[in-house]
């Protein structure tokens, strides 16, 4: 028996919200058969009821006040898809206070206010589900919570922003300059008109913080993660990368340093070895590599964004919420279970690096840069060069690349500060970490 209908309140009817509404109606028979629970979408909150929409709703379903969803005693579960942070926080907090389970895909909300909301969820015994918040349709949240529950996770490394991955793929395969690759992504609908959070790394950082919270049991603040975007990467960097056996990807890197009891949290464009599976992830696809002490390395792959993949993740959480509504005192929403963990200062993180300088075509430039590296105990494993800008048949500057041995990031920055003062260096260097995937 399916029993009495569970009532759902949906806040937000944009791209993902409309996709969720359509999926709940289109796949209703199969969802009810699999979950053995019947349901109904009772109310839908939007900002403007008069706006033309791609989905048709029954009369009286729409409201412009999300508070009606919270205050309606007949609504059992609330789906938050309004986006943003402030209003979404007010909605989720009010719903949890009211005892209503919440499903959200709002990564920025969880990164900024996860500490408060997860503690409230724990205190009230009311679950907050968020599979769609990182990885789109990739079931990474549920996997970390359930399938990998008995593993000590030593590292999570992934490509979790489809827009930046599309841009970097276009730069690699078509030799497009960054701005042309971005424009192409916007024309195809893979990048927003304002792509700032995608290209500056913060979309990936929000998702990375959520993954770290899941893997290590405690909410983390955005200021604890080091973030660098893809804006400075140029086609010439891909040329050097190919010659050296790498490609370039924007990676989120989460590593647990057992000996220091600290987490390494960072997002940055990185050299990825061509033999590693992450180097094969192209276009708008995402992939997340997780290493556990029992399972070893596992890789989750799929579309990380978009109406249908994200709707799939949201609806999976809705079904889980419906099932657990029938189980008094039990739910699988995230509950913090450890004390706050220490985050390793980015200056103390250690990797090999690729550094590209624009330098004047003159005698002694390699020696002067190498001497500065030496003074700061930064070892050089290889150097390379390529022609840069020419004018009137005369070389104005060249590209000069140094491959550096593993060293602390702060130590490298001190060397680069000194090198920037050299008259022969004509622009800020491009610095990309080299991921070896040892222990990942």
Taking the C-alpha atoms of residue 157 and residue 171, their distance in angstroms, rounded to an integer, is: 22
Instruction: State residue 224 phi and psi, 5-degree precision.
Output: -85, -10
Query: Distance between alpha carbon 199 and the CA centroid of its chain, in Å?
Result: 11
Tell me, yes or no, if 207 is annotated catalytic. yes
Asked whether the beta carbons of 161 and 154 are under 8 A apart, the reply is no
Name beta bridge partners: 286.
Answer: 302
Sheet holding 102-104, edge to edge: 62-63, 39-45, 6-11, 77-80, 102-104, 128-129
Exactly one of 207, 261, 280, 414 is catalytic; name it: 207
Taking the C-alpha atoms of residue 85 and residue 78, their distance in angstroms, rounded to an integer, is: 17
Nearest to 55 by CA among 22, 81, 27, 82: 22
Give per-residue burial for 120-146: e unless 16+ CB within 10 Å, then b: bbbeeebbbbbbbbbbbbbbbbbbbbe
Taking the C-alpha atoms of residue 387 and residue 197, their distance in angstroms, rounded to an integer, is: 33
3-state secondary structure (DSSP) of residue 182: helix
Nearest to 24 by CA among 2, 9, 4, 14: 9
Query: Distance between alpha carbon 381 and the CA centroid of its chain, in Å?
Result: 32
Structure tokens at 170: 């276009």
Structure tokens at 296: 């070893």
Q: How far apart are the first and last CA of the chain?
A: 46
| Residues belonging to the active site | 207
């Amino acid at each position: 028996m399916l029993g009495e209908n569970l009532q759902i309140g949906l806040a937000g009817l944009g791209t993902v919200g409309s996709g969720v509404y359509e999926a709940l109606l289109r796949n209703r028979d199969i969802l009810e058969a699999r979950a053995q629970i019947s349901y109904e979408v009772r109310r839908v909150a939007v900002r403007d009821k008069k706006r033309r929409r791609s989905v048709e709703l029954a009369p009286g379903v729409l409201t412009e006040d999300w508070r009606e969803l919270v205050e309606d005693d007949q609504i059992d579960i609330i789906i938050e898809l309004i986006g943003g942070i402030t209003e979404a926080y007010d909605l989720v907090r009010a719903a949890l206070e009211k005892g209503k389970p919440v499903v959200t895909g709002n990564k920025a909300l969880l990164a900024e206010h996860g500490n408060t909301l997860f503690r409230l969820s724990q205190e009230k015994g009311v679950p907050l589900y968020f599979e769609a918040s990182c990885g789109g349709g990739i079931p990474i949240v549920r996997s970390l919570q359930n399938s990998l529950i008995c593993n000590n996770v030593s590292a999570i490394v992934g490509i979790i922003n489809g827009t930046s991955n599309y841009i970097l793929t276009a730069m690699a395969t078509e030799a497009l300059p960054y701005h042309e690759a971005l424009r192409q992504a916007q024309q195809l609908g893979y990048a927003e008109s304002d792509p700032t959070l995608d290209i500056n790394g913060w979309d990936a950082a929000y998702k990375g913080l959520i993954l770290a919270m899941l893997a290590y049991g405690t909410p983390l603040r955005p200021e604890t993660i080091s973030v660098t975007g893809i804006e400075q990467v140029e086609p010439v960097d891909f040329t050097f990368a190919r010659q050296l056996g790498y490609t370039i990807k924007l990676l989120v890197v989460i590593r647990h340093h057992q000996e220091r009891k600290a987490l390494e949290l960072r997002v940055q464009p990185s050299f990825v070895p061509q033999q590693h599976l992450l180097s094969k992830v192209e276009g708008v696809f995402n992939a997340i590599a997780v290493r556990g002490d029992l399972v070893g390395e596992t890789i989750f792959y799929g579309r990380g964004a978009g109406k249908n993949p994200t709707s799939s993740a949201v609806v999976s959480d809705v079904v889980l919420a419906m099932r657990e509504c029938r189980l008094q005192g039990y739910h699988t929403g995230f509950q913090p279970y450890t004390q706050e963990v220490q985050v390793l200062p980015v200056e103390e993180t250690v990797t090999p690096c690729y550094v590209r300088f624009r330098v004047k075509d003159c005698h002694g430039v390699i020696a002067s840069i190498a001497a500065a590296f030496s003074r700061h105990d930064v070892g050089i494993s290889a150097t390379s060069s390529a022609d840069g800008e020419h004018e009137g048949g005369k070389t104005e500057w060249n590209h000069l690349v140094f491959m550096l041995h593993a060293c602390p990031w702060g130590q490298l920055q001190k060397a680069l500060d000194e090198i920037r003062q050299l008259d022969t260096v004509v622009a800020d260097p491009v610095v990309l970490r080299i991921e070896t995937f040892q222990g990942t």
